[in-house]
C-alpha cells in the first residue's frame, strides 16, 4: 500500500469506535466474544489495507465477526471512513504490526485467517517479514483453531512459490490451490475481490490462491 502520511490519521483512529485501541489491546486475548458481545466465529484479515475486502465480507456474512489488522494509520483511516459511511456491528479494526498478534489473540480464538496481496519483501534477509513465512505461520498456528483454515491470495508469483515452500516445514498442508483464481470457477465461488486484486487483475496478472490447514 502506498504510504502517504495523511494528516490527522493517528488522531482520527484514536477516536474511532470501530478501532480496538492500543490501550485496550492487552485485555483482548481471550476476550473477543465480549468485545463483539456474541459467540460468533472470528475471521481475521491481516494487512487489510483500505478494507474493501473485509468490509464487503462483513456485510455479506453478518453471522461472522471480522477483525481487520493494518500496520499504518494512514491506510487504516480509509477503512474507518468506509465504516462511517456504512456501519457494520460485526467488524472491528486493530492498528498494529502482525508480529504482535499473540499479544492480542488467545490460543485458538480465531476461526479463519485471510492474507490478501501481502507485501513481498523481496530481499532474502527480510523473508521472515513476509506474512505467509514460516515465522508467521507459527504465530497463526497458536491463534487459529485446530480445524481453522488460512486463505492467501496474491498476483506475485515468486511470493506465492515461497509461500508454498513454507508449508511443509511449518507443518501445514494444502487444501486447495490455483495459479489462476479468476479462471477457476470452483475457487471463484463466493470470491470477494480486494483493492489490489482489482488493480492487478485489470492489468492482466493472474491471481494465485491457496487454502491451507494443519
Interface with ligand SAH includes 152 (CB under 6 A)?
A: no
Binding region for ligand SAH (CB under 6 A) out of 66-74, 83-91, 165-173, 202-210: 66-74
The residue within the footprint of ligand SAH, chosen from 16, 74, 133, 194 (CB under 6 A), is: 194
Binding region for ligand SAH (CB under 6 A) out of 18-26, 33-41, 143-151, 195-203: 195-203
Interface with ligand SAH includes 111 (CB under 6 A)?
A: no
Least separation in angstroms between CB 153 and ligand SAH: 7
The residue within the footprint of ligand SAH, chosen from 32, 66, 105, 117 (CB under 6 A), is: 117
Whole-angstrom distance, CA of residue 70 vs CA of residue 16: 15
Closest of 162, 182, 6 to residue 77, by C-alpha: 6
- Whole-Å CA distances, 25 to 34, 55, 102, 142, 194: 13, 21, 11, 17, 27
- Phi, psi at residue 177, to the nearest 5°? -150, 145
Least separation in angstroms between CB 96 and ligand SAH: 7
Least separation in angstroms between CB 197 and ligand SAH: 6
Binding region for ligand SAH (CB under 6 A) out of 71-79, 159-167, 184-192, 206-214: 71-79
Q: Which is nearer to ligand SAH, 42 or 94 (CB)?
A: 94
- Establish whether 119 is a catalytic residue: yes
Angle at 87 between CA 82 and CA 93, to 5 degrees: 65
Interface with ligand SAH includes 69 (CB under 6 A)?
A: yes
Whole-angstrom distance, CA of residue 14 vs CA of residue 95: 10
Q: Which three cell numbers stand for residue 147?
A: 480445524
Give the contacts of 65 (CB within 8 A, at least 6 positions apart): 32, 36, 38, 40, 41, 42, 43, 90, 91, 92
Least separation in angstroms between CB 131 and ligand SAH: 6
Is the sign of the CA dihedral 54, 56, 58, 63 positive or negative?
Answer: negative
Q: Which three cell numbers stand for residue 9?
A: 490519521
Q: Which is nearer to ligand SAH, 69 or 144 (CB)?
A: 69
Sites of contact with ligand SAH (CB under 6 A): 1, 47-49, 69-72, 75, 97-99, 116-119, 194-197
List residues with catalytic annotation. 119
Amino acid at each position: 500500500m502506498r504510504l502517504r502520511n495523511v494528516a490527522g490519521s493517528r488522531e482520527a483512529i484514536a477516536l474511532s469506535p470501530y478501532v480496538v485501541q492500543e490501550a485496550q489491546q492487552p485485555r483482548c486475548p481471550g476476550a473477543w466474544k465480549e468485545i463483539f458481545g456474541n459467540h460468533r466465529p472470528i475471521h481475521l484479515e491481516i494487512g487489510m489495507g483500505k478494507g474493501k475486502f473485509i468490509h464487503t465480507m462483513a456485510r455479506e456474512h453478518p453471522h461472522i465477526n471480522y477483525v481487520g489488522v493494518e500496520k499504518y494509520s494512514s491506510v487504516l483511516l480509509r477503512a474507518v471512513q468506509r465504516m462511517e459511511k456504512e456501519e457494520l456491528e460485526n467488524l472491528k479494526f486493530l492498528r498494529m504490526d502482525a508480529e504482535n498478534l499473540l499479544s492480542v489473540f488467545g490460543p485458538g480464538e480465531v476461526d479463519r485467517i485471510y492474507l490478501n496481496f501481502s507485501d513481498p519483501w523481496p530481499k532474502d534477509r527480510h523473508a521472515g517479514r513476509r506474512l505467509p513465512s514460516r515465522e508467521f505461520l507459527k504465530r497463526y498456528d497458536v491463534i487459529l483453531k485446530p480445524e481453522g483454515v488460512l486463505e492467501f491470495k496474491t498476483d506475485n508469483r515468486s511470493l506465492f512459490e515461497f509461500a508454498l515452500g513454507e508449508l511443509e516445514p511449518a507443518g501445514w498442508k494444502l487444501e486447495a490451490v490455483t495459479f489462476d483464481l479468476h479462471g477457476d470457477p470452483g475457487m471463484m465461488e463466493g470470491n470477494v475481490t480486494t483493492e489490489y486484486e482489482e488493480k492487478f487483475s485489470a492489468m492482466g496478472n493472474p491471481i494465485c490462491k491457496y487454502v491451507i490447514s494443519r
